Amino acid sequence: MLTNRKPEHRRGQVQLIDATLWFKPLRKNLGKKNCELAPNDIQRICDTYFAFKATPQSKIFPNAAFGYWKDTVERPLRLHSQLSVKAIESLRFASGDEDLRAPLYDEFGDKLVENFAGIADALEKRLAEWGNDDEEEESEDDATAKKGLLDELLGVKS
C-alpha cells in the first residue's frame, strides 16, 4: 500500500511484506493465473501490516535505504588542442581548393571575409585574368574548378 498520508509512527519508514507463500492454488488455471488469495490469506497480510513489527515475513526499512546517493556525472571527452597561428593557418584552406584559394588570400588577404562586396569586382577581374593566362597550360578540370570557385565566391547558383 502506498500513501502520502502515513500515521506518525510509520513516517520515514517502509514496510515490506513477503506474502509469496500465502495463497490458495486454483483447481484449474486461468491463463497464467494459477493461484489466488483466500480470505484468510488476505486477513493474514492485513494483520502483518497493522502489527508493524519486523518478522521473517515483514521487514521495516528507513526511507533512505531506497534512495540513490551516487550520481554519475558524464563529461565530454577533453582533447588536447593547440590554437596557435600556425594551426589556424593550416585550416584556412582545408576544403581541398588550397591551390586556388591560397593565391587569392595572399593577394586580397582578410578583405575576402571582412569586405567582400568592396573587392568583388577586383576579384572577378583577377579570376578572369587567371583563366586567360597563357603561361600555364590548364586542364579542363582546373578551369572548371576555377569557374566553380568564382561562382561560389560571388554567390552565383549554377
**C-alpha cell of 122?**
577586383
Convert the pLDDT of each residue in 20-30 to its tens digit: 888 888 777 77
Task: Decide if pLDDT at 46 tops 60.
Answer: yes
What CA–CA distance (Å, rounded) separates 71 from 136? 66
Convert the pLDDT of each residue in 69-99 to its tens digit: 677 777 777 777 767 777 777 676 666 677 7
The residues, ordered by sequence, that sit 6+ positions from 1 with a Cβ below 8 Å of its Cβ are: 49
- What is the residue extent of each domain of the chain? 9-66, 85-154
Full-model pTM = 0.39
- pLDDT of 59 reads 92
Count of other CB atoms within 10 angstroms of residue 94: 9
How distant, in Å, are the alpha carbons of 104, 136, 137, 152 from that of 132?
Answer: 16, 9, 10, 19
What CA–CA distance (Å, rounded) separates 158 from 35? 76
Convert the pLDDT of each residue in 132-156 to its tens digit: 654 455 555 555 555 556 566 655 5
- pLDDT of 30 reads 75
- pLDDT of 139 reads 53
How does DSSP assign the chain, residue by residue? Answer: ---S---GGGTTEEEEE--TT--EEEEEEETTEEEE--HHHHHHHHHHHHHT---SSEEEEEGGGGS--------PPP------HHHHHHHHTTTS-HHHHHHHHHHHTTHHHHSHHHHHHHHHHHHHHHHH-SSSPPPHHHHHHHHHHHHHHHT---
The residues, ordered by sequence, that sit 6+ positions from 88 with a Cβ below 8 Å of its Cβ are: none
